[in-house]
Amino acid sequence: MSAIHELHPHGLWQHFSAICDIPHPSFHEEQIREHLIGFAKEHHLEWQSDAAGNVIIRKQATPGMENRVGVILQGHMDMVPQKNNDTVHDFTTDPIKAYIDGDWVTAEGTTLGADNGIGMAATLAVLASKDLHHGPVEALFTATEEIGMIGARGLAQGILAGKILLNLDTEDEGELYIGCAGGTRIEINGDYTTEDVQNGLAYKTLTISGLKGGHSGCDIHLGRGNAIKLLIRVLHRLEAEGVRIASLTGGSLDNAIPREASAVIAIPQSSRVACEQIIDQCSNTLRAELAVVEPNLTLTLSDAAPTAGLMSLQAQNRWVAAVDACPNGVQRMSDSIAGVVETSLNLGVLSINDGKIKAHILPRSLVGSCNEALCDAVAGLFRMLDAEVIFSDSYPGWKPDPDSQILATMKRVYAELYGQEPGVQVVHAGLECGLLGSKYPEWDMISFGPTIRFPHSPDEKVHIQSVVRFWDLLVATLKAVPQA
């Protein structure tokens, strides 16, 4: 038994506790889906599931509230399965061990699944309630959000009747989210011819490390160093001294800012001293440029074993120039909302090895046409090198509507509850609202949630008091929804 049962609001935490007991990592959502359907049957609520794995549960308006605009309460069923190296846990069979740690609820050695278990639990608590006041409610539990937003992508048009969508999947209590960026995954594949090892070359590994990294959307405005771009910049300088690339590896995910990159290079004996000087200068320059945001930036040169297969000189010249020229980071800030990034991209992964080059780039924008233009620019650059450019997983953004009626309602409700204005935010990352809004363009959408820290990591935790405030805001908002 877990003490989280005793937390307030009881209904929400009891549902959350039950969700923790049911394995529900992405692509293993059958049991949670059965749980939701079982709940609907037990409460005599109308339900349906669809081919994409989504579950919809409908609840009629409470007496006197029949004339209100229909509301869709939405969250996703799946959670990100991450555990510490020393934790033994099978996410497909084992329950999450949630516990109270001071002001927070967290889990023993694994992700907690507050993202988006708290959103699901709040929705179930509304559906089960007998004492709340609300108009017609449709609960939409989407499948497999965390990998490709598969449920939202597969949702059919015309099956939901409500006109206001409350997405319960953001992670800062006190903030209302009214927009998000769309994005497209870009994969680049190239070939190059190799040349055999020559005499008179010293093999070295050039490594850039100590960078902070971060989320390629939410952290892109912080101006952190991109290890791949910085390493390529140094290599570009070294080309004048006849330095040759044997291999290169940087970054691990397209949606993470790369923290580390290294290249095995061959340096002509005659230009060793000059190269070491250039590397020292570059190190000083980069450390000075990024002194505030990347105080631990380190550029090191160490001995490496000779390897066969240097990149041909022509391929090296062209690829180094292209990667150096490839745009990266913030491209434009929003004109309509101060301080918000409109368009950005992240060069997240680059590998050069054994005649093959692979890169992963993720552009994002609040504005679809800007995202397309950036995709065209990047594709054009690498197609000049005869590379294959593949686009996938494209999802639309959610354009902020500052005149939204539900935004005005929630700002008023929040101020009445807490005596202050909520923040209004646009997130430079993907929310399902972008895809959902593309199917239901008439919806008035907003997103909010309790405070969750370190989601998608074993340190994930949800702030207990923020759950109370989130719940009270949800309840008051349902009561205040305007008439149809």
Q: Are 477 and 408 in contact (CB under 8 A)?
A: no
The residues facing 138 across adjacent strands are: 58, 72
Q: How far apart are CA 209 and CA 450, in angstroms?
A: 35
Q: Using alpha carbons only, what angle is made at residue 429 by residues 426 and 430, rounded to the nearest 5 degrees? A: 105
The pair of three-digit structure tokens given for residue 290, joined into one six-digit string = 């990024």
Rg (CA), the chain: 26
Contacts of 304 (CB under 8 A, 6+ apart): 203, 204, 205, 264
Give least dist CB 78 to Zn ion, A: 9
Pairing of strands 164-167, 71-76: parallel
Q: Which is nearer to Zn ion, 127 or 427 (CB)?
A: 427
- Active-site residue among 29, 78, 138, 146? 78
When asked if residue 116 is in the footprint of Zn ion (CB under 5 A), the reply is yes
Which residue type sits at 340?
V
Handedness of CA 471, 476, 479, 484 (dihedral sign): negative
When asked if residue 432 is in the footprint of Zn ion (CB under 5 A), the reply is no
Q: Which is nearer to Zn ion, 23 or 455 (CB)?
A: 455
Give least dist CB 433 to Zn ion, A: 12
Stretch that binds Zn ion, among 114-122, 207-215, 220-228, 359-367 (CB under 5 A): 114-122
Stretch that binds Zn ion, among 58-66, 113-121, 265-273, 435-443 (CB under 5 A): 113-121
Handedness of CA 81, 82, 83, 85 (dihedral sign): positive
Query: Is 78 a known active-site residue?
Result: yes
Q: Are 258 and 226 in contact (CB under 8 A)?
A: yes
Three-state DSSP class for residue 153: helix
By rule CB under 5 A, what string of x and - marks binding of each residue 146-175 to Zn ion? -----------------------x------
Give least dist CB 451 to Zn ion, A: 14
Give least dist CB 116 to Zn ion, A: 4
User: Angle formed by the axes of helices 313-325 and 368-383, to 10°?
Assistant: 160
Q: Which is nearer to Zn ion, 76 or 360 (CB)?
A: 76
The pair of three-digit structure tokens given for residue 242, joined into one six-digit string = 């006849």
Q: How far apart are CA 343 and CA 331, in angstroms?
A: 5
Q: Using alpha carbons only, what angle is made at residue 112 by residues 110 and 118, rounded to the nearest 5 degrees? A: 170
Q: Which is nearer to Zn ion, 117 or 400 (CB)?
A: 117
Q: Which is nearer to Zn ion, 169 or 342 (CB)?
A: 169
Give least dist CB 254 to Zn ion, A: 18
Q: Which is nearer to Zn ion, 115 or 444 (CB)?
A: 115
Query: Is 145 a known active-site residue?
Result: yes
Give least dist CB 286 to Zn ion, A: 35
How many chain residues touch Zn ion (CB under 5 A)? 3
Give least dist CB 169 to Zn ion, A: 4
Q: Are 191 and 357 in contact (CB under 8 A)?
A: yes
Stretch that binds Zn ion, among 78-86, 111-119, 263-271, 338-346 (CB under 5 A): 111-119
Contacts of 255 (CB under 8 A, 6+ apart): 215, 216, 217, 346, 348, 362
- Active-site residue among 145, 169, 254, 342? 145
Q: Which is nearer to Zn ion, 144 or 409 (CB)?
A: 144
Stretch that binds Zn ion, among 112-120, 253-261, 310-318, 372-380 (CB under 5 A): 112-120
When asked if residue 115 is in the footprint of Zn ion (CB under 5 A), the reply is yes
Q: Are 168 and 433 in contact (CB under 8 A)?
A: no
By rule CB under 5 A, what string of x and - marks binding of each residue 364-403 to Zn ion? ----------------------------------------
Footprint of Zn ion (CB under 5 A) = 115-116, 169
**Catalytic residue list:** 78, 145
